[in-house]
Amino acid sequence: MIAGLIKNSFDKYYNFPISFWEEIECKGEILSVGKEEILKSRDKTENYLYFIVKGSAGILLWNKNNFVCTDLILEGDFCCDYFSFITRLPTPYEVLTFEKSQLFKISYQKLTDIICSSELEDKFWRYATSALYIDKNLQFMQSITKSAAEIYNLLTANHPNLIKRIPQKYIASFLGITPQSLSRIRRK
């Protein structure tokens, strides 16, 4: 079941065979976590790659005296501090669930062992990093060329239940505005 969900999510970048994802599924585990559960603390190294089966999470960056939300992630997508995961270094990012969530989790070591023993190793890392680059670059372009209201409208058009599921303070932070400004946008 998990292998199929992960495959569906990754197929838009590269169509790996289901057997590849089944091997990954066998080495990982399913876990249920509560609302606002910290999956990775700031200034620590990310040791797990998560796939959100049900729920939502975010990537938060420590900035002087509070966290800024840099990414909103819903079910059907991967979640972790990718920079730390790839470099094996601690970062100021925190990974947090926004609601009760069901996650598939695999350790860096187990994932690396599977991928390094596969003929698909090079393709996996290349397509995974390309996917991350594309997603982050699109997010960056939108943050520069669109207003907070336009980005909010895109978010709600693509994910209509987003507002009910993710606390307003994180959505506002993601948009780079105050919760009060978000309230004004929502009223319009």
> CATH code at 91?
2.60.120.10
Q: What is the pLDDT of residue 73?
A: 92
Q: Is residue 132 part of a domain?
A: no
**Which domain, by its residues, includes 74?**
2-120
Q: What is the pLDDT of residue 164?
A: 85
Q: Is residue 129 part of a domain?
A: no
Q: Is residue 48 part of a domain?
A: yes
Task: Give CA torsion, residues 24, 30, 127, 171, to 10 deg.
Answer: 180
Q: How far apart are CA 108 and CA 72, in angstroms?
A: 22
Burial 104-115 (b: 16+ CB within 10 A, else e): bbbebebbeebb
Domain count, the chain: 1
Q: Is residue 92 part of a domain?
A: yes
Bridge partners, residue 32, by sequence: 102
Q: Is residue 61 part of a domain?
A: yes
Please identify which residue in the block is written with the tokens 């399913």: 30
Query: Would you give per-residue pLDDT tens digits along the chain (188 residues)?
Result: 899 999 999 898 888 899 999 999 999 999 999 999 999 999 999 999 999 999 999 999 988 888 999 999 999 999 999 999 999 999 999 999 999 999 999 999 999 998 888 787 777 878 888 887 888 888 888 888 999 999 999 998 988 888 889 999 999 999 999 999 999 998 88
DSSP string, 128-180: HHHHHHHHHHHHHHHHHHS-HHHHHHHHHHH-TTHHHHS-HHHHHHHHTS-HH
Q: Is residue 142 part of a domain?
A: no
Q: Is residue 152 part of a domain?
A: no
Q: What is the pLDDT of residue 133?
A: 83
